Structure 1
Amino acid sequence: MTGKIDFQPKLFSTLRHYSAERFKDDLVAGVVVGIVALPLAIAFGIASGVSPTIGLITAIIGGFLVSAFGGNSVQIGGPTGAFIVIVYSIIQNFGITGLAVATVMAGLILVLLGMFHLGTVIKFIPYPIVVGFTSGIALTIFSTQINDFLGLGLTNVPGDFISKWGIYFSNLGNVDFYTVLVGIVSLVIITATPLISKKLPGSLIAIIVVTAATFMLERFLPGFNVETIGDRFGALSTDIPAPQGFEFTMNSVNLLLPSAFTIAILCAIESLLSATVADGVTGSRTNSNTELIGQGIANIVVPFFGGIPVTGAIARTMTNITNGGRTPVAGIVHTLVLLLIFLFMMPLINMVPMSCLAAVLIVVAYNMSGWRTVVGIMHSPKSDVSVLVVTFLLTVIFDLTIAIEIGLLLAIILFLRRVMENTQIRVYSEQLDAAEGSDTTLHEVLDVAKGVEVYEIDGPFFFGVATKFDEIMRSSMSEKPVVRIIRMRRVPFIDATGVHNLELLVRSSQKLGIHVVLSGVSEQVHNVLSKAGIEDLVGADHVCDHITRAVIMANRIAESSARHNTL
């Protein structure tokens, strides 16, 4: 950990200069966001394999904690579509208790990421990976909604993508006309609403209109019948569940750690992506480390109330911004709106058709797919395209956990490859321009005596480059030199492998009677070499702050050796 814990929730700083005028704007924005979040919380809860009640509980408690302890002023937290696949998979394999354990562990991981100041690092996860698994999740969400949208009535739908579609195609004869009609009407309303007003929540309008229409048709049209939330889940509870514990065992921790890691990384990426988008619109600045800690707190607490993973939601956050929300108070208001709906309007939610919710999620999946972005990346370098395609296919065909792990591994490999390609190692003999590669117009050409070899490393000296340096040094040796100068003015850091290889080089050179001189070592690298004993190994006088001094020393040693050999 570097420095003190960076935990400065935006809510606390906001309240110091809060005003009635600001509260009015936050109140309006919070009410609108609460209304927009209602159908999404219900739909995400059901699609994740839990009840709509759990979806709302997650939005209420998790959303409150994200706003109270997060590092972004306008972030709206709650369940999101990105988690549907992983949550559903965990419940299928480990049950609700397994999901709770995984979510708490994910929360702890997020808190640790924030405490160790890794918030800014998460932002640099390659974009093709984010697009790849987001598009994969979108396609998976779409595939999970076909059963409800078509009214196939399947009760044991396979979890894997290919088998699922095989079952769908073999049961197309069971399509229910009225269910499909309700779904299509819902889609039309959701997509047409923004054409009338971008501020109207299309999903909520669709739910209200379609629910009212189906309620009337069931009473006046014989044979009209579509499955509703109440039909599938029974009467929904209006009581906030009491906190409940669950058992942690080493076996469950070992089994669920990969899933917890996936939830944490997904939450970090989505939350910080949402925060970055919000910053671009509002001009504010997110404290990434505080945001991760706030997200972690929410994910630690929510499972004790039966909730599912929480993260920042881009669509709801943007709705908050466009309606005037500028402080975390708007996010807290949105959770209070959801709480009031939960306490007093749950009987009405029982009447919502399942095919209408399926339509809501199909639109969510389409918006998540980012197909235009995918098309754009297809014109990028082949390495980016390959990362996107591999991550997408792994997400769809196998598992999101595998997709993220392999996607990150691919990204690291490609990053190391690019660093190695950009890290140059130059070899000089006879003459050297001390100012080469700098902005100065004054050039100092140094004469390098025979028997002196100069190796300049331009870039970080980590394990990959250390091996590359060793290979170049061996291949460039025509005859045994007297002095090797290793110029390190452009080495920003050195890792343990670099230190180890440098130590081996020094020791092997000294055995052969070759002097090693280090030049232009930065303070940070110097400290590392000093602690590792490299400075003592080469001799403090052989560590020079400038190439001119290093060349003068090396020339003197080479000339002395030449005179000695002629005697």
Structure 2
Amino acid sequence: MKFDLSNLRGDITGGITAGVVALPLALALGVASGLGPMAGMYGAIAVGFFAALFGGTGPQISGPTGPMVVVLAGLFASLSGDAALIFTAVMLAGLLQVAFGLLGIGHYIRLVPYPVISGFMTGIGVIIIILQLNPLLGHASPSGTLGALGNVPEALSAIHPANLMLGIATLVLVYLWPAKWGRYMPSPLAALIIGTVLAYFALDVPILGAIPTGLPELQMPVFGGDQMMLVVEAAIILAVLGSLDSLLTSLVADNMTRTRHHSNKELIGQGIGNTAAGLIGGIAGAGATMRTVVNIRSGGQTRISGMVHALVLLAVALGLGPLAENIPQAVLAGILVKVGLDIVDWKYLKRAHQGPRWDLLLMVLVLGMTVFVDLITAVGVGVVLAALAYVKQVARLQIEQLRNLREQLDSEEDKAILLRNRDRIALFEFSGPLSFGAAADLGHHVRERASQSSILILDFSAVPFLDLSAALAVETIAGDAKDSGKQLYLAGANGEVRRVLEGLNGRLPAQGSFKTRSEALAAAEEALQQWGVSPIQALPSGVG
């Protein structure tokens, strides 16, 4: 495996900064899972290192995340704290993620529309800022966005002045740190060191405090028993959530670095990381947006930064905790407020009013759900709504392009046939792939525009494929034609379209099928003549 050493200094500083930022999060999420702070540390180390080593997103920082911890906490309660079964679920989740990557499922996440990504990113930024309000005021932040917001009035009534000033000073320092100095020491790391030293010698402010240390013990998977179904179910949920969380963070990283990640490779890396985490007694993790952004903003660009981040946490776990336990919470809060502001998609917000109103509404909806519900639900709802809006738009265009052709033909011969048989031959041209979105209205529009015709011709020359819903709509058109005594001809249908139409009842739903539109028109005119219908005198061009 090759390593890119061209950005070694930035990767090391980015990894160190991300590691320091990840430390309190790993401990807190470990406690929230029910398995203890060291389970959070071991999970951050294992997932952080192996996901970076084998993953497909260069600057991605992986570790315990909120959605994963929610699932683990529920499993902990359901299994009455049986750690062996919980770690088995983590290992199974990792193996499932590896399978997702090998099966190529990762590519589908790239279909997420930009307004959804923008709302997700901005929501993450808002969450980060909200969660730092209480630490800036000198108080511990309750879990969850709503809890943090609800505690702000109480925190305002008992502000810790020195803590608030240190946090603001850290934020100012991060913003004002000269760019030329940043090439040697990124502003977040400089603020971290300066703020910690200042607080250690001159200020009495809340710090991270005692950090547990020690080596992990090997955890072997446990199979069988009455509760195995709970373990499997939790493993599936963890695998899906972790995959979505990681690949969404990969999209955020792509947006910031102007690079492109390898989705399936990333899933394999995440799966290996989670499997390793379960083996050493760590909680499950995923790509962490906030820590990834900290890494990128601090100079990290390649997989080395993620591995350095994990090694920093490993060093803390092995006994260097006393160096990190003196870091003031206000300093971390100041750094994270800057991170949150940087994540907000200001570029889109400034020009959102100039674009489609629906895109803005979708972005705001995803933003709100990200902040007040959860990330996965927000993105899921956003993708579904965006897909439905797109289907509606495509269906509208397909219906608009469904034309009863008369004089808009390139062939003079075809045009003459239609002019001679006005209102007796109705020719409809379908354009593009016919989707289920347009199917519901196809029959209605054809029936409405060809009420006086004796023969209907459906031209599929420009249709590469159609789904079952569209095929059923064609069946409906055929049924309406039969009931009203009309003939239905199909023209230009390729092999795939014919297979779909024939698959409904073993035959094409028409009285005739022709390779070209011209052949269908000629056959229709001949049929009318056989019925004894006289052609109409052709009108001069431009009349009628």
* Bin for the TM-score computed over the shorter chain: 0.7 to 0.9
> How far apart are the structure 2 equivalents of 1:119 and 1:372?
28
Check the 8 A contact 1:43/1:357 in 2, yes or no: no
Q: Of the candidates 147, 151, 157, which is equivalent to residue 173 of structure 1?
A: 157
1:158 to 1:343, Cα distance in 2 relative to 1, 3 A: closer
Deviations 1:208-237 (A, max 9, x none): 2222222223xxxxxx5322222xxx3321
CA distance in 1, matches of 2:261, 2:101: 13
Q: Deviations over 1:176-213 (max 9, x none)?
A: 12222332232233323354533323232222222222
1:102-251 equivalent positions in 2, closer than 5 A: 114-152=101-139, 157=142, 159=144, 161=146, 164-193=148-177, 195-199=179-183, 200-217=185-202, 225-230=204-209, 234-240=210-216, 242-243=218-219, 250=229
Taking the aligned partners of 1:393 and 1:319, their CA distance within structure 2 comes to: 25
C-alpha separation in 1, matches of 2:503 and 2:282: 50
CA distance in structure 1 between the aligned counterparts of 2:99 and 2:501, rounded to whole angstroms: 29
Quote the offset at 1:132 in angstroms. Answer: 1.5
5+ residue gaps, structure 2: 80-85, 535-544
What is the CA-CA distance between 1:357 and the residue it aligns to?
2.0
Alignment partner, residue 549 of structure 1: 519
Please say if residues 520 and 544 of structure 1, whose CA atoms lie closer than 8 Å, have aligned partners that are also in contact: yes
Query: How is 1:509-528 mapped onto 2 (pairs within 5 angstroms)?
Result: 509-528=481-500
* 8 Å Cα contact 1:456/1:488 also seen in 2: yes
Q: 1:433–1:153: structure 2 CA closer, same or farther, 3 Å change rule? A: closer
Matching residue of 1:264: 243
- Residue in 2 aligned with 1:457? 430
Matched residues in 1 for 2:369 and 2:409: separation? 51
- Tell me the distance in 2 between the aligned counterparts of 1:101 and 1:561: 77
Distance 1:341 1:213 in 2: 22
1:110-147 CA-to-partner distances (Å, cap 9, x unmatched) read 55654554444322312111211322232222222222
Deviation (angstroms), 1:93: 6.1
1:289 to 261, 264, 268: 264
* 1:517-550 Cα distance to aligned partner (Å, 9 max, x none): 22222343334334444644437xx333321122
Alignment of 1:343-382 (within 5 A): 343-382=318-357
Distance 1:167 1:330 in 2: 35
Shift of 1:102: 8.8
Which of 446, 465, 474 lines up with 1:473 in the alignment? Answer: 446
Alignment of 1:474-513 (within 5 A): 474-479=447-452, 481-513=453-485
- Using a 3 Å threshold, how does the CA distance of structure 1 residues 186 and 159 change in structure 2: closer, same or farther? same
Partner of 2:537: none
8 A Cα contact 1:211 1:351, kept in partner: yes
> Aligned with 1:447: secondary structure?
helix
Contact 1:62 1:78 in 2 (8 A): yes
Q: In the alignment, is the contact (CA less than 8 A) between 2:59 and 2:305 conserved in 1?
A: no
SS of the residue corresponding to residue 402 of structure 2 reads strand
Return closer, same or farther for 1:27/1:46 CA change in 2, 3 Å cut-off: same
Q: Which residue type is aligned with residue 244 of structure 2?
A: I
Q: Indicate the SS of the match to 1:433.
A: coil
Kept after mapping to 1: 8 A contact 2:93/2:239:
yes
Deviation at 1:243, TM superposition (A): 3.6
C-alpha separation in 2, matches of 1:458 and 1:45: 54
What's the secondary structure of 1:345's corresponding residue?
A: helix
Counterparts of 1:105 and 1:466, CA distance in 2: 42
Alignment partners' CA distance in 2, 1:499 and 1:515: 18
Cα drift, residue 383 of structure 1: 0.5
1:346-371 per-position Cα deviation (integer Å, ceiling 9, x unaligned): 22112212222222222221112223
The corresponding residue for 1:36 is 17
CA contact (8 A) 2:465 2:496 kept: yes
Q: Which moved more, 1:455-464 or 1:39-48?
A: 39-48
Note if 1:560 corresponds to 2:530: yes
Inter-CA distance 557–36: structure 2 relative to 1 (3 Å threshold): farther
**TM norm structure 1:** 0.77
Counterpart CA distance in 2 for 1:241 and 1:488 is: 66
Q: Which residue of 2 aligns with 1:7?
A: none
SS of 1:174's partner is coil
Superposed displacement of residue 151, structure 1:
1.3
Matched to 1:484, the amino acid is: L
Letter in 2 for 1:353: P
CA RMSD of aligned residues (A): 3.9
CA distance in structure 1 between the partners assigned to 2:10 and 2:77 by the alignment: 34
Q: What's 1:17 paired with?
A: none
TM-score between the two structures when normalised by the length of structure 2: 0.80
Cα distance between partner residues in 2 of 1:563 and 1:350: 96
CA distance in 1, matches of 2:115, 2:128: 20
Q: Matched residues in 2 for 1:422 and 1:109: separation? A: 40
Give % identity: 23
**Alpha-carbon offset, residue 508 of structure 1:** 4.2
Give 1:3's aligned residue: none
8 A Cα contact 1:190 1:360, kept in partner: yes
Partner of 2:434, secondary structure, is coil
For 1:244-290, what per-residue CA distance to the aligned partner results, in whole angstroms no more than 9, with x for missing partners?
Answer: 65896556777897787555333222214424654x45xxx644333
Q: Is the 1:483–1:557 contact (alpha carbons within 8 Å) kept by the matching residues of 2?
A: no
Q: What do residues 356-409 of structure 1 show as CA deviations (whole Å, max 9, x unaligned)?
A: 222222222111222342222233211111111222222333443442332222
SS at match of 2:177: helix
Determine the structure 1 residue equivalent to 2:82: none
Residue in structure 1 matched with residue 362 of structure 2 by the alignment:
387
The 3-state SS of whatever aligns with 1:151 is coil
Render the CA deviation track for 1:460-495: whole Å, top value 9, x for unaligned. Answer: 21222011211201221333x332211122223311
Contact 2:215 2:318 in 1 (8 A): yes
| Aligned counterparts of 1:333 and 1:341: Cα–Cα separation in 2 | 12
Structure 1's unaligned 5+ residue stretches are 1-10, 15-21, 218-223, 436-441
1:309 is the counterpart of 2:285? yes
The alpha-carbon distance between structure 1 residues 29 and 358, as it changes in their structure 2 partners (threshold 3 A), is: closer
Question: How many angstroms apart in 1 are the aligned matches of 2:519 and 2:219?
Answer: 70
Q: CA deviation at 1:150?
A: 0.8
User: Alpha carbons of 1:346 and 1:52: their partners in 2 closer, same or farther (altered >3 Å)?
Assistant: farther
Shift of 1:317: 6.7
Question: Quick check: 2:245–2:286 contact (8 Å CA) kept in 1?
Answer: no
